[in-house]
Chains A and B, each alone.
Chain A
């Protein structure tokens, strides 16, 4: 069944879109991430303009992180003050990100910026995850104990001023790195159309030493709010959010996420991280090839606003 997307100005098969929502939802439920880094490239691959894909995926991620956040809230697995402080930084980052997005679009450099950001970010994060999880798996095979948290190893981050105590997470940390992390996630999310869950969770664990119990729930709250505000800002400034596309994606996404979450519980943590790392790396490589291989056509057309 074909459906015409009003903003993307393109007819698409509704079942293809729905299926993509299901598949990405499954993966996001399995790994506890938003899945934007998979959805945005898939939409671009379908022929949707990168700008529309980025803006619309932010709406989709808002929906999937919302259902996740609610269930984590019921289980009291959210550190509300920590989420609030991350959000303050996240909002500033989002505003700046949308501004840069608009500027790059007028300069004609948006698509390449999205491409390069994907290669760098996914390459680095995917690579680190693969190495880290492979080591963990090897260590487990050799029968050595798994070191998850090294309480003694404080870094320079813990020496920063303006310290705050976050009771639910049981950490005592400066407000500055919290704000900075929020800002980075908001910025990256607005430019790349990703929720940044796969980036935020390791940052919270390794930099702030947030315990596993509260990390995913808290990260989902941040994702929800930054993506909802990115939706509003993208819609208000660039008019690029395709609500029809977003709705089909999110319905598929929330259903897929339920099945993914069940599947994820049957796999060990290290294996899960290794799989996710490989997936992230693969998408990064795919983008890398796209911007380095000679393009099919050297020329591209883009309508000028208000022509």
Chain B
């Protein structure tokens, strides 16, 4: 057992060494970890604060720090339809299914991603809207996403239009050389669920540290009650809605009775 383990450990050590041993640590903190979606929810803005901490007694090995923050919302499977003109009418003709695509995606950085690191690294890290993985289900075999695909760009375009996908090259601001702030915009129609937040620290184009965290959006109070009863007790919910309609109508006929 033991001799067999050694090469694995060695391999792991080499793999670990491939990324430069960082003297820096990345510490982040969100302004809120739980965001409540209520009847007055019209979108929100969260702030992520972060600091680059050096190990005590060690001189900074790296300079030129860059930060990229990725916020990924709950995943959903989405159909993208393409309209085509048939007999003078525009109908949904072709469709593609995007499986487990992030419902929300924000990529924030202190300068354009292409300036932070090379395309190869961006691709490997799937960083940025151009590189995020959006697998499509093309019948009958699942296919990986193809760059430059019209459905992919339409998907990204529609998501960006609604503010659900954003990429901001000035979304991260350095307050001091080691302290930064990122503003995460949440539009009104974000889905509830867990949002993964990951801050990446680059130095001279190389990824030297990453720190994950998470935030949660939840519906509370009356909204939660309405949504869950509509989903889980559809029949009862429908009966209640119909009863509400009848009562409102009856009430109006009593209030406005003229004879």
Contact = CB atoms under 8 A, between A and B. Distances in A.
B138 interface: no
Given A4-B39, A109-B92, A298-B82, A239 B244 contact: no
A300 B237 contact: no
Interface stretch (B21-29, B58-66, B225-233): B225-233
A242 to B, nearest CB: 8
A246 B226 contact: no
A209 interface: no
B155 interface: yes
A74 B154 CA distance: 57
A59 B84 CA distance: 34
A3 B253 contact: no
B246 interface: yes
Interface residues of B, number: 63
Contacts of A302: 78-79, 81
Interface string A170-201: 00000000000000000000000000000000
A67 B253 contact: yes
B78 A300 contact: no
Given A6-B227, A299-B81, A299-B83, A250 B40 contact: no
B259 interface: yes
A246 B239 CA distance: 14
Nearest to A233: B238
B241 interface: yes
A246 B91 CA distance: 29
Contact of B248 (A108, A232, A234, A251): A251
A69 B38 CA distance: 36
B223 interface: yes
Interface in A252-304: 254-255, 257-258, 291-292, 294-295, 297-304
A251 B199 CA distance: 49
A247 B242 CA distance: 11
B77 A303 contact: yes
Interface string A52-74: 00000001101111111111001
A83 interface: no
A59 B89 contact: no
A237 B246 CA distance: 21
Interface in B16-39: 37-39
Given A298-B154, A299-B80, A300-B158, A243 B223 contact: no
A59 B226 contact: no
A254 B188 contact: no
Contacts of B249: 62-70, 224, 250, 254
Contacts of B189: 9-10
A247 B244 contact: yes
B226 A6 contact: yes
A304 B79 contact: yes
A293 to B, nearest CB: 8
A164 interface: no
Contacts of A3: 39-40
B105 to A, nearest CB: 14
Interface in B91-107: 91-92, 95, 97, 99-100
Contacts of A7: 226-227, 230
Nearest to A119: B89
A6 B235 CA distance: 17
A236 interface: yes
A4 B223 contact: yes
5 contacts: A228-B242, A228-B245, A246-B241, A304-B79, A307-B99
Give the 7 A-B residue pairs with the shortest CB-CB distance, closest first: A66-B249, A307-B77, A235-B238, A254-B252, A232-B238, A299-B154, A62-B245
Interface of A: 2-4, 6-7, 9-11, 59-60, 62-71, 74-75, 108-109, 111-112, 116, 224, 227-229, 231-237, 239, 241, 243-244, 246-247, 250-251, 254-255, 257-258, 291-292, 294-295, 297-304, 307
Given A62-B246, A108-B81, A235-B230, 6 more contacts: A6-B219, A59-B241, A67-B248, A67-B256, A250-B248, A307-B99
